[in-house]
Amino acid sequence: MTTAPVLAGRIPVTRLTPALPDDRWHPKAFEGEVVPFRATVFREGHDQVGAMLVITSPSGVERRERMAPMAPGTDRWQAKMLLDEVGEWRWHVTGFDDEIATWRHDAALKIDAGVDVELMYEIGARLIDRAVAEKTRARATRTKLTALATALRDPATSAPERRALVDHPLLDEFVGHPLARLTTDSPEHTILVERRRAGVGSWYEFFPRSEGAKQRKDGRWKSGTFRTAAKRLDEVAAMGFDVVYLPPIHPIGVTNRKGPNNTLTPGPNDPGSPWAIGGPLADGRPGGHDAVHPDLGTLADFRAFVRRAAALGIEVALDLALQASPDHPWVTEHPDWFTQLPDGTIRYAENPPKKYQDIYPVNFDDDPESIFAEVVRVVRHWMKQGVRVFRVDNPHTKPLWFWERLIATIRADDPGVVFLAEAFTRPAMMQALAMVGFQQSYSYFTWRNTKAELEEFLTSVSQDTADFMRPNLFVNTPDILTEYLQFGGPAAFTVRATIAATAAPLWGVYSGFELFESVARPGAEEAIDNEKYEYKPRDFATAEAEGHSLALYLGILNRIRADHPALGQLRNIRFHTSEDDSVLVYSKHLEGRFTADGVDDTIIVVANVDPHSVRETTVHLDLADIGLAPGERFEVEDLVTGTVWEWGASNYVRLDAFTRPAHILHVRRGMHA
């Protein structure tokens, strides 16, 4: 008689997470991330079951954590684990029949009802006898358990005292070391833990050519250089940013060079778009992706820039844009890397209605191996210059297999290299890029502005896709100046920065945001006089002196992030309610067992997302979500102003968009209920 293989196991263990929608790829986390491990564990009948997470670190240290039941009736179990070592972790879940829990449940019901009283005590005593026989338990514990079994069998013990033995604290021994005859191990799973910069960082973007640029009396420009740009690093560090992202630093093409605001009529002094990569070097030869623009300096100057940033605690992120200007060496050396049109021309880049006549996109179909080898060479070249972070331009316009292979190849060289996907595209491609290896992803955050939109978006990125995709919440980019910022005034900038900096552990700012730059090119969602096409030196010092700068507030936000480990987590955001559709309320809570000082860390953010009004409302908190008991009173400190209030489950707030549109509150515990 032939039978099919049985996969369920005696105690079924199913639906394990972290997991990806497609099991060809594996989930990931970052060093220091607290990850919820979950499984569905159940059995037939009414006997109690339990679940144990068994996880092994890359160095071989095994940890066992008893999983706790989640919502009643769901059979879902969870254990949170702080993953503190870089590398591949192995884990599985063991489901078991929890005999002690079953006995305690049944004994409480029957003894209290006067049914089978002696029988229930004897059953409990025999279970404990079995536990005593297990030599893996500590000798002192087995001695105490022997005494407990004797007391359960002793009819001379008073009824109340004997009944209390069913709830004896010594039985907590079976939480960590359960007594079980029936067990089932799930298949083994893996989760990749990457270095902390892969999941936590404050990004600041600026164009080196604008930093220190000067316009001469005759209208010609003197470009900023790596040396003048290095002077800006001190101010970036003072604001607390720890990643500086540079747009392409390579030679820029001359053919079809763009003028101001993406026009086709450049003047002789217009520098062109840095994304039109490939142009003349200082000696007239064409340079490409492995060269630096001669106006910026030399490769040695770039290395000095990287060293200066490192001395300030800043990593340099370099743009990786796989495209070429008509003047790039690739165009003449490898014409088959591009799409040839019937009229003999090469197809330029388009994103209707936008046209980029100065850029040729790479065609990966005709000679993929040569293209792959060249890109690996380019990435390794910049790694040798000290770069370990790459912001990838438009990865969704290149094949998915290419990125999977490239990132795996570079990981073999250095598993600490980080790739950020700039892919504002359909969810399927955006998420697939993250699944195949991108450590960070741009997201739809810039276009989520209302309370309802933000709640839906932040819930999705912190819960639905957190096992594989990490959103970097940029508030603006050279290409994106949303209507919210165009018409919201300083309040809109303040609110967007507050939410981006506190809702996720990755966020970013493009230079000029702190100066409230909000004028768009007519009919477009990008800044007028766009820095992509011209020099744009900014007078940050004067703006700060005149009180027209958000730099101080950005520094406060990054200091708060550094001081509060709850904000360094992605998966712990929880939303609370307010009686106003424009007042967003959420918390980030981290239990003391996961913090360096052993104390719970809880932040509550209350933000008025309407930048044009004053809002007064009552916010209602789910105290369990912030580790507090029902009815508990506590203090909250506004980490921006230092104001302290006494709060409870329901609290009045007033948020004036023109003075203080948001609260960032730290929960102080210890008050009486």
Token representation of residue 549? 């700068």
Bridge partners of residue 51, in order along the sequence: 95
Catalytic residue among 33, 205, 315, 422: 422
**Selection from 132, 124, 122, 126 nearest residue 155 by Cα:** 122
Checking DSSP bridges between strand 389-393 and strand 360-361, what pairing results, if any?
unpaired
Annotated binding site for alpha-maltose 1-phosphate: 258, 323, 358, 394, 532-533
Secondary structure (H, E, C), 277-313: ECEECCCCCEECCCCCCCCCCCHHHHHHHHHHHHHCC
Q: How far is CA 106 from CA 46, 166, 579, in A?
A: 10, 10, 45
Contacts of 60 (CB under 8 A, 6+ apart): none
**CA 528, chain centre distance (Å):** 31
Question: How far is Cα 120 from Cα 123, in angstroms, rounded to an integer?
Answer: 5
3-state secondary structure of 532: coil
**Would you list the DSSP string of 391-438?**
EEE-GGGS-HHHHHHHHHHHHHH-TT-EEEEE--S-HHHHHHHHHTT-
Q: HSE on the CB side for 450, CA within 13 Å?
A: 5
422 counts as catalytic: yes
For residue 281, how many other CB atoms are within 10 A of its CB? 15
Q: Which residues are annotated as a binding site?
A: 258, 323, 358, 394, 532-533
User: Does the active-site annotation cover 393?
Assistant: yes
Burial of 435 (0-12, 13-18, 19+ CB in 10 A): buried
Look at the chain and count its residues. 673
Output the six-digit token pair for 501. Answer: 């900096």
CA dihedral 409, 413, 415, 421 (to 10 degrees): -50
Active site residues: 393, 422
